[in-house]
Structure 1
Amino acid sequence: METQPLNSKAIILRLRIGVLQGALLIVLGVILGAGFNVVRSTGLPWIERWSVSSVSASHLKGLQEISLEEAYSLYRQGNTVLLDARDTLSFQQGHIAGALNVPPGEAKGYLKEVLTLAKSGHEVIVYCDGVDCPLSPELARTLQRFGVPSVKVLVDGWRLWLEAGYPIEEG
């Protein structure tokens, strides 16, 4: 069976149909996305100026934040328990000197030690890497649920500590 070449009108018609189908898919995607956003309890606001600080604030809702300067001052006094919430590999590649690696899912295994130190007056400070890193807030909330008093979050702690040239170690 021989196929006949398409004339220019047929090509234009097929292109128009393809463009219309693509536009329909885009409109359908926008409608579905908007619908799911409205239904979700944690949907995104329609109009808001997003910034790093607003994203960070949403992670920290209900938690105490500590500044780098305050954390370093307490560290120098030897009055802190620093908990690195990052994964083990990241921790081994570098961490704040003296910090313990406590990924959020492993908090229960360190609970006795952390509670003892916290109740003896040590400040519990958790950190991870990046302003939008959810690990340190998650660890802080887990520790609070287990009864650890006054857990503070050092937002973007690893990067800030490293850039400040404060003591670090590997392994």
Structure 2
Amino acid sequence: MSLKKGSSRIFLQAILIVIFSLFIGVIYNTISKEGISLKGNWSKKVLSDSLIVPYSYDKNDPPAITLAQAMTYFQSHNIIFLDARSETDYKAGHISKALNLPFEEFEKYYPKVERLLTKDKNIITYCDGTECEASLFLARLLRDKGFKNLKIFFGGWTEWNKAGLPVQKSN
């Protein structure tokens, strides 16, 4: 009987420690200059009325562009679109003339597209949409490899396809 009583006492103490810790955490978050909102969506932030980016986007990252800007670049023909999604997603549909360079398998796919890329070529990375960060991570990898003219289209495949812009499917 005393073992059962001792176990319930330890359990109660653990619950009190968790509640106290949560209380301290909420108080600290409330008074901290870098605290986060306790409710809402933290996965993205708004840079302007037409530009939503993932929360992990940093001011030192390659510039983010809107759908209108992506379309202007597409029409200039002096651009390479890199699809950061998986090969399966790419084959199901992608921005017309885009190359597939999946972020998750960068080391496998980079040698296949490397000869098509030059360090001074204009490159736009994209993935599924604002919830997807693969385009951001791909742009960072390319920047680390010395590519300079990088842009990120966070609207990605979802926004492009929804707008009825040129798309392709691959076999």
TM beyond 0.5 = yes
Q: 1:59·1:132 contact (CA, 8 Å) conserved in 2?
A: no
Measure how far apart 1:50 and its partner are: 5.3
Give unpaired runs (5+ residues) of structure 1.
Answer: 1-12, 39-44
Larger radius of gyration: 1
SS of residue matched to 1:64: coil
Measure how far apart 1:147 and its partner are: 1.1
Q: 1:47 to 1:148 in 2, by over 3 A?
A: closer
- 1:49-128 maps to which residues of 2 (within 5 A)? 52-53=44-45, 56-62=54-60, 63-104=62-103, 105-106=106-107, 108-109=110-111, 110-115=113-118, 119=120, 122-128=121-127
Q: 2:129·2:156 contact (CA, 8 Å) conserved in 1?
A: yes
Measure how far apart 1:26 and its partner are: 4.5
Measure how far apart 1:157 and its partner are: 1.1
Match of 1:46 among 35, 46, 51: 35
Matched with 1:5 is: none
Q: 2:66·2:155 contact (CA, 8 Å) conserved in 1?
A: no
Correspondence 1:27 to 2:19? yes
Q: 1:65 to 1:20 in 2, by over 3 A?
A: same
Residues 30-71 of structure 1 deviation map (CA, whole Å, 9 limit, x = unaligned): 48x95xxx9xxxxxx434475532562532441211111111
SS of residue matched to 1:76: helix
Measure how far apart 1:78 and its partner are: 1.1
Q: Runs ≥4 in structure 1, deviation > 6 angstroms? A: none
Q: How many pairs were matched up?
A: 145
Residues 117-152 of structure 1 deviation map (CA, whole Å, 9 limit, x = unaligned): x53xx4200001121322111111111111111100
Matched with 1:10 is: none
Across the aligned residues of Structure 1 and Structure 2, the Cα RMSD in angstroms comes to: 3.4
Structure ranking higher in helix proportion: 1
Q: 1:80 to 1:152 in 2, by over 3 A?
A: same
Residues 95-119 of structure 1 deviation map (CA, whole Å, 9 limit, x = unaligned): 111100101223641233211xx53
Q: 1:126·1:152 contact (CA, 8 Å) conserved in 2?
A: yes
Matched with 2:152 is: 153
Q: Which moved more, 1:57-66 or 1:98-107?
A: 57-66
Q: Normalization by structure 1: what TM-score?
A: 0.68
